[in-house]
């Protein structure tokens, strides 16, 4: 196996020429023969370097409007030839094919063209054929060839040319090859996903290029990595890096707050809201959200959908919290919030979020559409003698938004656009209700006139009976149980209103 290879011949054909100039100067200094095509060839000549047109090497012109330029044995033979195989070397000599030791090639901007909203013909023309073939060929033959497939790697190549005088080690070439195969596989995945927009094949493919190595996973003995562009999602104003558990809670917080348009603040612990309120002013929303459960709020994740001002920041700063997210902050608010160096303060940016979610399961992956449905008063069907008032309908709508984002089995109590208590993640619905009643009472909430929302139907009438006895005057549930009538009868007996939505919101 070849360990050190001296670069003598290079093939350069790129779409992006940013930061390519220093590399051309280094190759010229080292006396490397350069082969190129089209715009890259012109660019190299403009820098005063000699360059051989690929057409002169192949004795064949670029054809089909540039679709076929480098697809020729004299190009690929020079890339794929094994330096240690006598037969390969004899054929190179027989057909006058130069060994190509360095390939600098990138790909047409397919993803960018799709995102621009271009038509199908323009998108199809951005499916690279020659470039992807050159990348794979050079990466395959990494024992003898250096492949640079991204402008992000130009600086690394430039340093190697300067410090090693055109020689590369096997480890360096393998590293470049690994990056190249990552680029080619990501490119193919993007093309597949484009063709799967109208008719999906039952195939799971995802490719995310950016990543953040986390301090650890859910627990210190677990490794953790976030794949995605956090910098596009948030601007960090203060604090340490987000942990795995922070990210899970932040994801839940973002999903919950996006249900609300009026000024709202939510406090979450372990992905569940322990406090949330909507008010005319954000400071009022904070005070009432915290009142729901100030004990659980300690060390939580806070999210707002309105600007945080100095008065609100001063109130929030009285609590120990892990993360605060808002669309904006006043300068005075930032100054107050930065008083504790480890507090993570994030400005949320307007980023389009995925509409599907997936996770590993057993020996595979499960994927589903995100639950992006929420039922308002127009989708609530009254099923009892007593009709809900307009005020109760508004509270039921609020409660339904919260229960949708709470771990099953769950029920939530709400009144005046404020969460009063919730029963979270219980193995029976009646246990969730009992838990919520105890929590409401422990923090001094009077449930008289409150509403209750359930994420799924009531299998028995006990939940309705206990809720009415606690003071609840209106109940929301999806319905769908064979014993729905038992719950309806109990609501009528207790003189409370019940509505059904027909939509279940399990969250596991």
Q: Which residues are catalytic?
A: 140, 270
Name every residue whose Cβ is closer than 8 Å to that of residue 476 and which is 6 or more positions away in sequence: 380, 396, 399, 400, 451, 452, 453, 454, 498, 499, 500, 501
The strand ranges marked E within 14-74 are 33-36, 52-53
CB neighbours of residue 226 within 10 Å: 17
Q: How far is CA 346 from CA 211, 217, 331, in A?
A: 18, 21, 14
H or E segment to which residue 497 belongs: strand 497-500
DSSP symbols for 110-142: HHHHHHTT--HHHHHHTS-SHHHHHHHHHHHTT
> What is the torsional sign of CA 2, 140, 186, 37?
positive
Long-range contacts of 150-155 (CB under 8 A, 24+ apart): 150/106, 150/179, 150/183, 151/14, 151/16, 151/18, 151/19, 151/20, 151/106, 153/179, 154/19, 154/20, 154/22, 154/23, 155/19
Answer whether 212's CB lies under 8 Å from 230's CB: yes
409 prior amide bond cis, ω within 30: yes
Alpha-carbon dihedral angle through residues 61, 81, 43, 159, given to the nearest 10 degrees:
180
- Three-state SS annotation for 352-409: CCCCEEEEEECCEEEEEECCCCCCCHHHCEECCCCCCCHHHHHHHHHHHHHHHCCCCC
What DSSP character marks residue 308?
Answer: B
Nearest to 453 by CA among 504, 389, 493: 504
- Three-state SS annotation for 187-215: HHHHHHHHHCCCCCCCCCCCCCCCEEECC
Rg (CA), the chain: 31
- Sequence-ordered alpha helix ranges (H) in 272-382: 282-292, 310-316, 331-337
Q: How far is CA 249 from the centre of its chain?
A: 14
Nearest to 353 by CA among 252, 278, 267, 439: 252
CB neighbours of residue 320 within 10 Å: 12
d(CA 406, CA 271): 8
* Residue 265: burial class (beta carbons within 10 Å; 0-12, 13-18, 19+): buried
């Amino acid at each position: 196996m070849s360990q050190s290879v001296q670069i003598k011949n290079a093939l350069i054909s790129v779409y992006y020429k940013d930061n390519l100039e220093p590399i051309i100067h280094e190759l010229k200094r080292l006396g490397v023969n350069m082969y190129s095509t089209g715009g890259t060839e012109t660019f190299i000549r403009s820098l005063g370097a000699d360059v051989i047109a690929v057409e002169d090497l192949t004795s064949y012109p670029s054809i089909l409007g540039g679709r076929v330029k480098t697809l020729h044995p004299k190009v690929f033979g020079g890339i794929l030839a094994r330096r240690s195989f006598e037969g390969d070397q004899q054929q190179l000599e027989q057909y006058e094919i130069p060994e190509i030791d360095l390939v600098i090639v990138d790909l047409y901007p397919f993803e960018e063209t799709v995102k621009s909203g271009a038509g199908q013909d323009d998108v199809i023309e951005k499916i690279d054929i020659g470039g992807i073939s050159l990348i794979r060929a050079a990466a395959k033959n990494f024992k003898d060839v250096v492949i640079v497939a991204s402008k992000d790697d130009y600086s690394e190549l430039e340093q190697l040319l300067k410090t090693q005088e055109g020689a590369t080690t096997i480890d360096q070439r393998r590293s470049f090859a690994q990056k190249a195969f990552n680029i080619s596989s990501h490119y193919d995945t993007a093309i597949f996903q484009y063709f799967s927009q109208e008719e999906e094949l039952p195939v799971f493919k995802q490719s995310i290029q950016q990543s953040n190595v986390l301090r650890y996973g859910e627990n210190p003995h677990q490794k953790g990595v976030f794949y995605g562009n956090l910098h596009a999602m948030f601007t960090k104003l203060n604090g340490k890096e987000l942990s795995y558990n922070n990210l899970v809670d932040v994801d839940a917080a973002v999903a919950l707050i996006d249900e609300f348009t009026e000024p709202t603040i939510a406090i979450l612990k372990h992905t569940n809201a322990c406090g949330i309120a909507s008010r005319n002013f954000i400071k009022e929303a904070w005070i009432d959200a915290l009142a729901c459960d100030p004990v659980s709020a300690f060390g939580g994740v806070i999210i707002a959908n309105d600007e945080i001002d100095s008065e609100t920041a001063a109130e929030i700063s009285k609590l120990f919290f892990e993360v605060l997210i808002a669309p904006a902050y006043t300068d005075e608010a930032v100054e107050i919030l930065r008083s504790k160096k480890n507090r993570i303060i994030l400005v949320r940016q307007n980023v389009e979020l995925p509409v599907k979610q997936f996770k590993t399961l057993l020996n595979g992956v499960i994927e589903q559409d995100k639950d992006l449905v929420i039922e308002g008063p127009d989708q609530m069907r009254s099923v009892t003698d007593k009709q809900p008032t307009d005020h109760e309908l508004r509270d039921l709508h609020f409660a339904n938004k919260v229960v949708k984002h709470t771990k099953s089995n769950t029920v939530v109590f709400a009144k005046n656009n404020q969460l009063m208590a919730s029963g979270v993640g219980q193995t029976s619905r009646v246990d969730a209700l009992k838990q919520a009643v105890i929590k409401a009472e422990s923090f001094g909430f009077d449930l008289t006139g409150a509403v209750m929302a359930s994420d799924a139907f009531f299998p028995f009438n006990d939940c309705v009976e206990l809720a009415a006895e606690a003071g609840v005057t209106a109940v929301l549930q999806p319905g769908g149980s064979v014993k729905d009538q038992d719950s309806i009868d109990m609501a009528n007996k207790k003189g409370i209103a019940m509505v059904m939505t027909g939509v279940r919101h399990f969250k596991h």
